[in-house]
Amino acid sequence: MTVDGKVVAITGASSGIGEATASLLAKRGAKVVLGARNPDRLDAVAARISATGGEAVTKATDVSSRGDLMEFVSLATATYGQLDVLVSNAGIMPVSPFDELCVDDWEAMVDVNLKGVLFGIAAALPVFRRQGYGHFVNVASTAAFRVTPGQSVYAGTKMAVRAVSEGLRQEAGENLRVTIISPGMTSTNFADSITDPVARAELEQRRDVIAMPPAAVARAIAFAIEQPPGVDVGEIVVRPTAQA
C-alpha cells in the first residue's frame, strides 16, 4: 500500500488541509499538482516541497470556473502523462444567520463548495475513464451531519457534496474509486471568509480551543489513497475529540 509514484491533483492547496495533504503525499513519493487562487502561496508551497526532495507543479485555479478546472487537470496529464487522484478540497465558509441576508456569501459557497466539486468531476472523469483507473477524493465536513444555527447554507453545500460523491461512487464501476473526507473543526484560515463579525469571532474562538491540525486530515486522505486496487474507502469522518 503506497502513494509512491502516483499523480495527485489537489485544489485549495495553498494552505490548510490542501497544503498539509500536498506536503505529506509528496514526502511519501507522490507527484503533486497544486491548485488555488493565490499563485504566490502556491509557489511557496511547491518550493517547500521541492526543497525536501518532492515534486510539485502549480496552477492558479478558481474552482468556481469550469475552464480553470479543465486546465488544471490538463496540466497534470500534460506534465506527468496521467492523473491518479483528484482531491477536491477547496472550500469556503462565510457563515451567518439567515436574517443577515448575506446572499452573495450563499452564492459563493454554492459556487466553490459544490460546483467546484462538480466541475472537478467533469474535468477528471473522462480522463479516468480513458485510463481505466482513477480516484476522486471529495472533502465534505462534519457539518454535513449536523446543522447548527448560522451554518445552514454551508451545511447544505457539504450535504450535497456527500450526496454527489455517493452517487458518483455507485456509477463509477469497478475501476474508479470515490472517497468522502468529512473533517471536523480544523486549525485553518476558514474564518477569513466570514463577513459576519459575530459569527467569525465565535468560530475563531472555538477553533483556537478545540481544533485539530490539518495534518490529521491529510493522514486520512493518504490512507484512502494508498489502499490497493479494488479497495475503496467510502468515507472517513475525522474530528477533534473535544468536538461534540
Long-range contacts of 164-169 (CB under 8 A, 24+ apart): 164/114, 164/117, 164/118, 164/121, 164/138, 165/117, 165/136, 165/138, 165/140, 166/234, 168/121, 168/136, 169/232, 169/234
Catalytic residue among 154, 181, 199, 218: 154
Terminus-to-terminus CA distance in the chain, angstroms?
33
Letter string b/e over residues 39-66, b meaning 16 or more CB atoms within 10 A of that residue's CB: eebbeebbeebeeeebbbbbbbbbbbbe
Quick check: 30 and 3 in contact, CB under 8 A? yes
Q: Which of 166, 76, 64 is nearest to 128 (CA)?
A: 76
Known catalytic residue at 154: yes
Query: Catalytic residues, which ones?
Result: 154
